[in-house]
Chain A
């Protein structure tokens, strides 16, 4: 059984399962938030350019901060990832794959990569919905500039995309955490444990020390705070979290090879 075959099967399954619909919640929330801004029900508190109005990227950044800052995106991604591996081990659905696949490592990799793909697609979808919502409801209003590029003082569009991308990399690490935790505990405990890891990482990223600088979300925050960041430490943090994720997955595979399935 090839890795591609497992990924295809996982994508088919995820596109047909009703439980995957939870991933549409951030998109729905984005539309609600945009309508709230447009109606004046929600007040903006982000520093703006001289005009006090918002460009498309300013608005995308606001929505991103609302969804990721409150942990909504993280919670949904962790919940989704917990159901993919831990949930299937707990309920026994993983047997469908193990009865056909000769190599359990391929199953773990296939499931992880498919989860990552779905996560990234839904985050991209949420960002896309925030762009479309801006042009539909805000660009022509008194608080919209109608332009795309960021207008916040000294803040570049690249800064915003960079900050978002670094945060997404952390989600991919958290997916790895759910896979490892899922080997030992049920999906609910997996979800809670990973949530704890997410908040611990976010707390660390807010501090100023050597460890925090090894976290991509520290640099994401630095970018969001419009501070100057160097490419090398950012790149180092990305490599560090990718290596850590690979280590988590290697341990998961090692344990999964020896596990008796319910």
Chain B
């Protein structure tokens, strides 16, 4: 395996109640790269992300992370993966308290450093003045920023983000894109993100994977895709094989 590859998904298959959702998905993510995952609604993007995160069980195939098979029981590996997939906060608690709850569940941040790390994260996502506000009073965009903050609690080497730009205003989108680029550049964090906002995908992704009807219908670098003159919409319309 290429040493640069941080995540290697091999022949992943997953269905719900005998209805197959992922039929045979294989792809790799390189260290410090941003992979844009694109597909129509119901293509299997969220199922794929949840399988990598261990939220889905009984899937077939292999997921290799850092050269080792990713096991749902491996907490050290789990701490190296941050995620934003259908995040639902405790609305009746403050942003600070929500992050504190998540922080208490990991050994990656020592207790003495937790408060400082929460302040850092809130500032990083532009919520430093809203830490003591109840999440119930947050706009959707603010919740997205908080969700991004919780994904980065453990300083993960891999970030899995499902629709991270939904609900963000244009400035918010630019901020998040810049933040993700910074993570890649400075920390060599690898990122998988799904999005229906194709402009953001073009702006951000190094690699493109198009998921269609449970299979990958296209996978290439964004540069190659652009130079070949292919359009996202055309590729998304193609039926998976």
In the complex, what distance in Å separates the CA atom of A259 from the CA atom of B56? 7
B105 touches A260 (CB 8 A): no
Instruction: List 7 additional A-B contacts (Cβ < 8 Å) besides A93-B88, A102-B71, A259-B57.
Output: A9-B105, A12-B101, A19-B92, A96-B101, A100-B78, A102-B74, A261-B56
Interface presence of B233 (CB below 8 A): no
- Interface residues of chain A, those whose CB is within 8 Å of chain B, are 1, 5-6, 8-9, 12-13, 16-19, 91-93, 95-103, 257-262
A252 CA / B75 CA spacing, docked (Å): 22
Is B93 within 8 A of A13, CB to CB?
yes
Kindly identify which residue among A9, A93, A257 contacts B89, using a CB–CB cutoff of 8 Å. Answer: A93
Which chain A positions have C-beta within 8 A of B5? none
Interface pair B55/A98, CB less than 8 Å apart: yes
Among B79-87, B170-178, B180-188, the stretch in contact with A: B79-87
Shortest C-beta distance, A203 to chain B (Å), equals 35
B114 vs chain A, min Cβ distance (A) = 11
B198 within 8 A of A: no
| Known contacts A5-B105, A258-B58; A101/B53 CB under 8 A | no
Q: Least Cβ distance of B128 to chain A in Å?
A: 20
Q: Is B72 an interface residue (CB 8 A)?
A: yes
Contact assessment for B87 and A95 in the assembled complex, using a CB-CB cutoff below 8 Å: yes
Interface residue? B27 (CB, 8 A): no
Complex-state Cα separation, A89 to B193, whole angstroms: 24
Question: What are the residues of chain B within 8 A of A257 when measuring CB–CB?
Answer: 57
In the assembly, what is the distance between CA of A235 and CA of B11, in Å?
55
- 18 A-B pairs with CB atoms under 8 Å apart are A9-B101, A9-B104, A13-B90, A18-B92, A19-B92, A95-B86, A98-B54, A99-B53, A100-B75, A100-B78, A100-B102, A101-B75, A101-B78, A102-B72, A102-B74, A259-B57, A260-B56, A260-B57
B73–A103 CB distance below 8 A:
yes
CA distance A81 to B72 in the complex (A): 27
CB of B105 within 8 A of CB of A96, answer yes
The digit string for B184-211, where 1 denotes a CB below 8 A from any CB of A, is: 0000000000000000000000000000
Q: Is the CB of B55 within 8 A of A16?
A: no
Residue in contact with B105 in the complex, picked from A6, A16, A92, A261, CB distance below 8 Å: A6
Q: Is the CB of B53 within 8 A of A16?
A: no
A37 to B150 alpha-carbon distance, docked (Å): 51
Chain A neighbourhood of B54, CB < 8 A: 98-99
**C-alpha gap A119/B58 in the complex (Å):** 35
- Tell me if B60 counts as interface (CB < 8 A to partner A): no
The answer to whether A258 touches B92, judged by C-beta atoms less than 8 angstroms apart, is: no
CB contacts under 8 Å to A, within B11-67, are: 16, 50, 53-58
Q: Which residue of A lies closest to B77 (CB)?
A: A102
Which A residues touch B106, using CB under 8 A?
100
Given known contacts A260-B16, A261-B55, A99 and B93 CB-to-CB distance under 8 angstroms: no
Q: Evaluate whether A13 and B101 lie within 8 angstroms (CB atoms) in the complex, with A101-B75, A262-B86 already known.
A: yes
Give min CB distance, A24 to chain B, whole Å: 15
Q: Contacts A17-B90, A258-B58 hold; do A5 and B75 have CB atoms under 8 A apart? A: no
How far in angstroms is the closest Cβ of chain B from A79?
15
Q: Which residue of B lies closest to A6 (CB)?
A: B105
Going nearest first, the 8 A-B pairs with the smallest beta carbon separation are A102-B73, A18-B92, A100-B105, A261-B55, A92-B88, A9-B104, A102-B75, A260-B56
Residues of A within 8 A of B93 (CB): 13, 16-18
B97 interface residue, CB < 8 Å from A? yes
